[in-house]
Amino acid sequence: MTRIRKLAVSTITILLLAGCGGESLQTTAATDSSSNPSTETNTPNSSISSTSPTSTSPTGNTADTPEENSTGQGNDNTDDTNDGTPPNASSPTVLSTTPADTSTGAGTQSTVSARFSEMMKASTFTAATFTLREGANVIPGDVTGNGVIGIFTPSSPLSANTTYTATITTAVTDADGNPLAANKVWSFTTGTALDTTGPLVTLQSPPDRGRDVTIDSVVSVTFNELVDPSTITTTTFSMHDDGFQNIAGTVSYNAATRVATFTPSSPLNYGRGYSPTLTTDIKDTSGNAFEGGVPWGFVTIAFVDTTPPTVTLTNPLNGATGVATNQKMRVTFSEVIDPATVTITSFSLTGPSGLVSGSVAYDAVNRAATFTPTSALAPNSAYTGTVAVGIRDVAGNALASAVNWDFTTGGSTDNTQPSIVSISPTDGTTGVALDSPLTVTLNEDADCSSATTTTFSLQRTGDSPLPGTVTCNGSTLTFTPDAFLWGNTGHTAIITTGITDLAGNALSAGLTWTFATAP
């Protein structure tokens, strides 16, 4: 449970919501004029320490559950995840009321509120469970529940020098469904028309702990009374993300609805946590400061990939002639493909005698699929390669339409071995950048499945091979180290005859060369 003593709060620090993981435990201490922390917590399953008055410590991607916050207000928490703690069987109690029982001189524009000993179920606060009367006359108004506070907002100012009676019935329950043990009844008398009560927040949008919030959302709060528009600024109403980066935006206030709105200057990021902040410099039209206590954080929707993949390259090219009868077919995609969708049905080859028998393989590193015919193709014949819409990316998006391309074989097989035409860095180079990749260019397209860290490697001279990734794009092979190279150090690159072309011919000769990095 969270018990709170009402303070003159100087700054309100809003809870940080950092994603969609488990609930994080976090408190924010308010300070009184002597700077003594005054938030008392008694959390059954966790030990929570108050932070410094203006700091937060995000520990996860989910906002604090209302039971764990120490700010005094929150939203209905009946959707909180069950963490295995036995249900609370104790009835809530009313710790304090505003105006206080038997008090006099209450402002005629005052709201009537009660602070409870624990988080309450917002939906149980209704016009039937929280009433205000002047004698036998029922005072019309709006009723809201927000965390540990129940609020009655009269529809119009109360009469001066008049006694009113407020009643909260046992139909009001805590978050676990335990009812108030007995009706809470208290009376107060208004004074002159002077308002001495600060504004409260009755509604937040997006709601506290909201998930899957759209990235173009605006952020707003509804107050229980009119506030001074001049006090609604980007200083008093702001927002930061889960990396504590302030979000640029503008603010506005609608007096008719009592709603203050923060509009981000650009769309929010996908899958990030955001925390709006309201400060006590916000004041009502009578100059009373906002009392604070608004825990608030939400997470935007995760990025959803709806873009279908495309075929960016085919080999042979569309319209190619003289293609070797022993060549494999290859297609390269715009993004990573779901390997399970690359089959003999979704990637096929058709020739003079119909479908060509063969096998398919998918290389995720190079985003390429290869069709290997079981036997040599017919010479001087037309063939059509087809990639069907059954091909899907890892997000499940299918090709927008089937891709077909044609080529014609020549009269013979390809028995010519590929050779190296260039390397980078060149042999003997010094001052090579520490983040420089290595490239080797052949005189024809390589079979990308043969390009691995076994056939193309890098090592510090005299040392073991360095970890890295080998990629293949047509005739160009690239080795990218996993980490920066050591400075002012000799390195040796090796490419072996394990590299083959699409006809299966091995590299005519391997190559070993050296270079030195910059200091």
Report angle CA 434, 439, 445 to the nearest 5 degrees.
Answer: 165
Report angle CA 391, 392, 394 to the nearest 5 degrees.
Answer: 145
- 237 within some domain: no
Averaged pLDDT of the chain? 84
What digits encode the pLDDT tens for the residues 169-226?
A: 999 999 999 999 999 999 999 887 667 788 999 899 999 889 999 999 999 999 988 8
- How far is residue 448's CA from residue 500's CA, in Å, rounded to a whole number? 8
More reliable by pLDDT, 23 or 341: 341
Residues 126 and 181 grouped into a single domain? yes
Nearest to 427 by CA among 346, 511, 501: 511
Q: Which of 129, 162, 190 is the last residue of a domain?
A: 190
- 40 within some domain: no
Residues 105 and 179 grouped into a single domain? yes
Residues 395 and 428 grouped into a single domain? no
Residues 318 and 374 grouped into a single domain? yes
- 451 within some domain: yes
Q: Which of 157, 190, 223 is the last residue of a domain?
A: 190
Residue 490 has what pLDDT? 96
Residue 346 has what pLDDT? 97
Residues 174 and 147 grouped into a single domain? yes
Given strand 184-190, what is the order of strands in its sheet?
103-106, 184-190, 163-168, 130-134, 137-138
- 483 within some domain: yes
What digits encode the pLDDT tens for the residues 467-509?
A: 999 999 989 999 999 999 999 999 999 999 999 999 999 999 9
Residue 343 in tokens = 């089959």
152, 223, 257, 423 from 140: Cα distances, Å: 9, 18, 18, 84
- 159 within some domain: yes
Assess whether pLDDT exceeds 90 at residue 15: no
Residues 402 and 482 grouped into a single domain? no
- 361 within some domain: yes
What digits encode the pLDDT tens for the residues 427-462?
A: 999 999 999 999 999 999 999 999 999 999 999 988
Residues 426 and 401 grouped into a single domain? no
Domain assignment of residue 499, given as a range = 420-517
- How far is residue 141's CA from residue 205's CA, in Å, rounded to a whole number? 22
Instruction: Give the whole-number percent of the chain exceeding pLDDT 90.
Output: 67
Residues 507 and 436 grouped into a single domain? yes
Residues 115 and 163 grouped into a single domain? yes
Number of domains composing the chain: 3
Residue 291 has what pLDDT? 80
Is the pTM for the entire model greater than 0.75?
no
- 203 within some domain: no
**Domain CATH for 325:** 2.60.40.1220
Residues 348 and 401 grouped into a single domain? yes
Nearest to 275 by CA among 248, 244, 251, 249: 244
For residue 407, what are the β-bridge partners?
Answer: 320, 383
Q: Which of 390, 409, 428 is the last residue of a domain?
A: 409
- How far is residue 179's CA from residue 175's CA, in Å, rounded to a whole number? 10
Residues 447 and 403 grouped into a single domain? no
- 384 within some domain: yes
Residues 377 and 431 grouped into a single domain? no
